[in-house]
Structure 1
Amino acid sequence: MKALLIVECGSITIERSKSSQHQLFRVESSSGSVSYCSNCTRYCRCFNTVQKYIDPLYELWCEHNLAIFLAEIMGKTKVVYLHDDVFCRSLEMLYSKDNTSTNALVGESSK
């Protein structure tokens, strides 16, 4: 299962804006490829979608969103707070056509 492999061998980072409550999820696989996702909208640039019965409603879940769901349940997410200009670059990555970029910037970690 690809999602579990991402959780176990990769990383899930919640990137939050320092000045607002906006957040994105940075999903990095063990190979180093990075995807950005919005968990609240289940939006991901990935096209590898599968149906999983999670809620009373059927929803489309890609491996990245499923990894986010699993990581949150397992307590395996970390949080970083970013300045707005850096957060905006991450937001651009979420909506960019190139889903394989690894040039993401990471700010300082919070505890």
Structure 2
Amino acid sequence: MVLRPVLIVALLVGVLAVLAGIALMIPRGGERLMGRASSPIAAETLRTCLGSHLGLTWSGDPRAMHASAFGLRVVVSDNGKSRQVGLFTDGGRQLSSSESDAMKACLTVE
């Protein structure tokens, strides 16, 4: 009769292991912030520079630039003293070298 509780616990551990394996195989979606910086440069200058370097166009919210084909969203927010630039990617993919270079180039533009 002691064997029955041990068998039940072993069965539950097996079920949990299978569920954990299934959860690990499912890709994680959603956007993740992959790059962030501050700049004293005017928001319009940042938008123009990032748009030309990355081939993005502004749509919807005047602070957010979208490029769904590349799985990239760029947001420029203005708090009065400085501008915050955020680069979001689908599924948390790393920024490409051209995306990183564009961000660096636009943050140093005068």
Give the TM-score normalised by structure 2: 0.25
Which of the pair is proportionally richer in helix?
2
**Structure number, greater radius of gyration:** 2
